[in-house]
Structure 1
Amino acid sequence: MKRALVVLLLFAATAVLAQDKNPVTSVVREILPRQQKNLVAAVEEMPADKFAYKPTEQQMTFGHLVLHIVQSNNYLCSKIGDLPEVKAAVPLKETDGKDKLVEALKASFDFCTTALNKVDDSKLSDEVELFGGHKGARAFALIALTNDWADHYSSAAMYLRLSGLLPPTAQPKK
């Protein structure tokens, strides 16, 4: 009985996914809230006095990592949604306080939500200007964005663990 129910649910899920005319952009929109939640929680977990911490001399500070995430979100999402890139009146710095960096991180994810709501799969082959003036498909920016979220979270998790803290996804369920 359970096996039949599982098979039926798999067929139903497949049918629902097959009806989605934008499977790629829909999946990224589905991924965004989880990545946003985890990245923001990781940054909020780090004490303010640790934002200048860097594991080795060659690595960036935690504050620089947060700044990089904000800039990456704003740049890539502007390309994905064909929107002007968000630029602060006063440029954000890695030495800005925790509250300011967290606020900018949250705003960058809000911008990504807006940008992702403006794109559908039919636009993924459109040519956009990417890093260093190189041209590429909008799909490149979309895939780079999801890769960046995973990479940035793993970096933030490493900084937290090296500071004796558990990253959000490793914390016991409350």
Structure 2
Amino acid sequence: MKQSSSLLFFFLIAFQSFGQDYFRETFPQVWQRTIDYTLSVAESMPADRYDFKPEEGFMSFGEQMLHIAGNIEYLTEKITGEKVSFYDREQAAAFKKKDIISILMEANAQVAGLILTISSEALQEEVTFGNVKMSRVNLFYLLRDHQTHHRGQAVVYLRLNEIKVPAYVGW
């Protein structure tokens, strides 16, 4: 029995170590593809259509892009405990396409840097998000999922404006 417990403990430690290594080896490239595709979608919408929304009550194309940056602010604070802001929300209505793309680039670069510098220990520490305890690794996956969701909405906006959608950048 003692030998079985020792073996199980060894596999649990090895599995946790594998998960950290896997994240560190794969996620930087995954995040870069996320950045590249989001920026490609953002570049595809003409500047004079950044205020487009399919109907009242929806976010505009530009608001979708800013919402991605805002979520990065929120979730990176959950990861690091430090508040960061990429733009003044009171000024957002005056932002042009180039401003929004710059904000997106800065926000995504923040995450890219964090992926490379966060310690293995910090990755595994639990935080509370929406009444759920999860590791910080999960928050990085939430960052990607949220961006994918709103980028997908932005793709629909491009199609509604009969604008060619950039080729998907997946793996």
Same topology, TM > 0.5: yes
Equivalent in the alignment of 2:129: 130
* Kept in 2: contact 1:77–1:112 (CA 8 A): yes
Instruction: State the SS of the aligned residue for 2:167.
Output: helix
Query: How many residues were matched structurally?
Result: 151
Query: Residue 21 and residue 73 in structure 1: after superposition, are their counterparts in 2 closer, same or farther (change >3 A)?
Result: closer
Equivalent in the alignment of 1:160: 158
Equivalent in the alignment of 1:147: 145
Question: Deviations 1:85-111 (Å, cap 9, x if unpaired)?
Answer: 322474351541111111100001111
TM-score by length of structure 2 reads 0.75
Cα RMSD over matched residues? 2.7
* Kept in 2: contact 1:63–1:95 (CA 8 A): no
Q: Which runs of 5+ in 1 are unaligned?
A: 1-17
Distance in 2, Cα, partners of 1:31 & 1:95: 32
Partner letter of residue 32 of structure 2?
P
Distance in 2, Cα, partners of 1:55 & 1:90: 25
* Kept in 1: contact 2:86–2:103 (CA 8 A): no
Partner letter of residue 127 of structure 1?
E
Instruction: State the SS of the aligned residue for 1:168.
Output: coil
Task: Determine which of 70, 85, 88 is the counterpart of 1:87.
Answer: 85
* Kept in 1: contact 2:69–2:86 (CA 8 A): no
Q: How high is the sequence identity, in percent, across the aligned residues?
A: 23
Partner letter of residue 156 of structure 1?
A
Per-residue deviation at 1:129? 4.7
Query: Residue 111 and residue 77 in structure 1: after superposition, are their counterparts in 2 closer, same or farther (change >3 A)?
Result: same
Equivalent in the alignment of 1:45: 44
Distance in 2, Cα, partners of 1:151 & 1:115: 22
Equivalent in the alignment of 2:9: none
* Kept in 2: contact 1:79–1:128 (CA 8 A): yes
* Kept in 2: contact 1:83–1:115 (CA 8 A): no
Query: Residue 157 and residue 125 in structure 1: after superposition, are their counterparts in 2 closer, same or farther (change >3 A)?
Result: same
Question: Deviations 1:11-39 (Å, cap 9, x if unpaired)?
Answer: xxxxxxx9885212432212011110110
Q: Which has the higher contact order (CA 8 A, sep 6+)?
A: 2
Distance in 1, Cα, partners of 2:122 & 2:32: 22
Equivalent in the alignment of 1:69: 68
